[in-house]
Amino acid sequence: MNDITRNQIIATNIKRYIKENKITQKELAESIGISPSTMSDYMNLRSNPSHGVIQKIADFFGILKSDIDTTYKENNDISRVFNQLHPDRQKAVYEFAEQQLSDQNNIVPFKKSEVTDNKDKNLEVLAAHIDENTTEDEMDEITAFIDSLRDED
């Protein structure tokens, strides 16, 4: 979920609770210790409330943060499932997630146009998986391969 969508959800939910509780934005802002103009910025998507402000709003209305910002609910769902697993399965899930994150952060895509202008090749994407365990020899092989693609034109 991108920030704009998240901010729209937050603003919509805050507006709903303001209406249900028959108060104004100004009254809510003053009750939680922020300026009315800051509250207006949140409602008009000009800025996003911090986690602390979301908690203050939730406390004011007697609700959960996830009732205002649904990303907390998504995170809570993952934690709820994880916490129900036996310790050996929790370890496996954690290790899998760590590996997925590492893989995600270490994949470097190269588009054909960045590597070669040779239109006869059926090469659309080259992805090099480079991590902290990549040796100097492996890096030399990757570099040589890329150079060979450039030389084919």
Residue 92 sits in the same domain as residue 146: yes
The answer to whether position 76 is within a domain reads no
Domain end call among 71, 101, 120: 71
Residues 57 and 96 in one domain: no
Q: Is the dihedral of CA 41, 44, 48, 52 positive or negative?
A: positive
* pLDDT confidence of residue 130: 59
pLDDT in tens, 28-60: 999 999 999 999 999 999 998 999 999 999 999
Beta strands in 29-138 (DSSP E): 107-111, 125-129
Are residues 55 and 65 in contact, defined by beta-carbon separation less than 8 angstroms?
yes
Q: What is the pLDDT of residue 101?
A: 82
Residue 21 has pLDDT above 90, yes or no: yes
In a domain? residue 51: yes
Q: How many domains does the chain have?
A: 2
Please, which pLDDT band fits residue 148 given cuts at 50, 70 and 90? Answer: confident
Predicted TM-score (pTM) of this structure: 0.49
Could you give the dihedral angle defined by the CA atoms of residues 83, 55, 65 and 38, in that order, rounded to the nearest 10 degrees? Answer: -140
Domain residue limits at 119? 85-151
* Residue 152: band (very low, low, confident or very high) from pLDDT cuts 50, 70, 90: low
Q: How confident is the model at residue 127 (pLDDT cuts 50, 70, 90)?
A: very low
Q: Which two tokens stand for residue 34?
A: 């922020």
pLDDT at position 70 is 80
Instruction: Give yes or no: residues 112 and 63 share one domain.
Output: no
pLDDT of residue 9: 92
Question: What is the tens place of the pLDDT at every residue in 69-115?
Answer: 887 765 666 777 777 889 899 889 888 888 888 888 776 555 545 44
Spatial distance between the Cα atoms of 10 and 1, rounded to a whole number of angstroms: 12
pLDDT at 118: 45
